[in-house]
């Protein structure tokens, strides 16, 4: 129980770090390409954090999490950081550190041994039965 609470607290801190970096980036003058690249990284980090939270709560299986995490790109090209103004560069470095933490968390969550994990059943249509008195 404490382990699950610690995971949720760590994920909550990740969301707080993401919000702080977004606030710092909002005031910076960025090119359209850099703004788009950073927006993509922020959305992938947020998606990764949601996946980790869902996995910690037991709402998603390892296979579903792996499939959802596959399209995420949790890296920032090095040339982008070099082009950014100083204030935006600090926020981008914070995003890179957060992306690495999320990426590591996803790897650990996927590699963790399943604890009585059962395949999820899809809800089918209810069966109608004829009862003859």
Percentage of residues in the chain having pLDDT higher than 90: 20
Q: Which residue would you say has higher pLDDT here, 40 or 116?
A: 40
- Enter the pTM of the model: 0.77
Angle CA(100)–CA(3)–CA(18) in degrees, nearest 5? 35
pLDDT at 100: 93
Q: Is the pLDDT of residue 111 over 70?
A: yes
Three-state SS across 69-120? HCCCCCCCCHHHHHHCCHHHHHHHHHHHHHHHHHHHHHHHHHHCCCCCCCCC
């Amino acid at each position: 129980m404490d382990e699950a609470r610690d995971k949720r607290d760590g994920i909550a801190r990740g969301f707080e770090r993401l919000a702080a970096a977004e606030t710092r980036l909002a005031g910076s003058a960025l090119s359209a390409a850099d703004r788009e690249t950073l927006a993509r990284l922020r959305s992938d980090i947020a998606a990764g954090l949601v996946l980790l939270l869902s996995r910690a709560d037991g709402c998603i299986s390892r296979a579903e999490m792996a499939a959802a995490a596959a399209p995420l790109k949790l890296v920032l090209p090095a040339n982008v950081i070099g082009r950014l103004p100083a204030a935006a560069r600090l926020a981008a470095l914070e995003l890179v550190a957060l992306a690495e933490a999320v990426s590591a968390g996803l790897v650990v969550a996927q590699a963790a041994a399943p604890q009585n994990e059962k395949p999820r059943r899809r809800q089918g249509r209810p069966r109608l039965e004829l009862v003859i008195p």
